[in-house]
Homo-oligomer: A and B are copies of this chain.
């Protein structure tokens, strides 16, 4: 399979991207990689590889670029050209750690929606305490969603959980402010009824406070709420970790304490490291478009490449296509 990769996207690009690419090439003999980016910057980091092709682009979509315009205006950017490769069938999937909004807009514009999917969704696998993780979507592709959008998110999440995560009969949960059926806002109340009727293993409403306790394999929500919850988890975990660091650094005594728990603390951090499950993916497009975290290191890029390759290998896009065609949205 052929994967197109944005060599210039992310805080640690191009170094981390190149290293991740080389790791993936070593590990997966069935992938060929097209690496888009500035050849002058990429070349010194690379080694010759029969399954690696570097395609020079002059421009880079920056983190602060306006998402709606970036890909259209910067026609010779690594992100735009990577998306084009997918659009023109020269690559089976693509991956960037760059500007999320630009990748979403560009994915929609250049790769295009699957027929019948009214709104694509951004999905990622978040960690749980038991290490199993769960898929959450939408994380912000659409701030305002209709009930039927969330049903499609559930259908697409279900397919991903089965095919990519290998879960037999994924438990589908609806993120809500209470577990009872009648709880929530107008949106979640409507979605609850629709999900009950759908051909899915719907386990009902799940509360935000229980998310990390592995209450569902796939959690659906609108993009505003999903983005909010994702950032709240990140912010709270970050704040707490920095406070614990202060605790450890408070005195000579606590520093010794810190040394004694160091190994186990590292284990905790890697448990919380959601890049182990890959990046975020745009569901509902004509080909897999994967977004690695902006701060991705080589390992995170490698994991996102693995994720993209599994999505291609298991024909996630085709299965979504046929399932959506068989389950047309009731308007």
Contact = CB atoms under 8 A, between A and B. Distances in A.
Contacts of A184: 143, 224
In the complex, the count of this chain's copies comes to: 2
Contact of A261 (B175, B188, B231, B254): B254
Nearest to A207: B231
Nearest to A180: B66
A244 B269 CA distance: 10
Interface of A: 129, 140, 143-144, 175, 177, 184-186, 188, 207-213, 222-225, 227-229, 231-244, 246-248, 250-251, 253-254, 256-261, 264-265, 267-268, 271-272
A143 B208 contact: no
Q: Which secondary structure dominates where chain A touches chain B?
A: helix
B228 A210 contact: no
A241 B43 CA distance: 45
Contacts of A211: 232, 235
Given A177-B140, A254-B261, A228 B208 contact: yes
Contacts of A241: 240
A242 B246 CA distance: 19
A186 B146 CA distance: 13
B261 A227 contact: no
Given A209-B232, A236-B240, A244-B244, 16 more contacts: A129-B239, A175-B228, A185-B222, A185-B224, A209-B234, A209-B235, A211-B235, A213-B235, A224-B225, A225-B225, A228-B228, A228-B229, A236-B236, A243-B271, A246-B264, A253-B260
A9 to B, nearest CB: 19
A144 B190 CA distance: 13
Nearest to A247: B264
3 tightest CB-CB pairs across the interface, nearest first?
A257-B260, A209-B235, A143-B185
Contacts of A209: 231-232, 234-235, 238
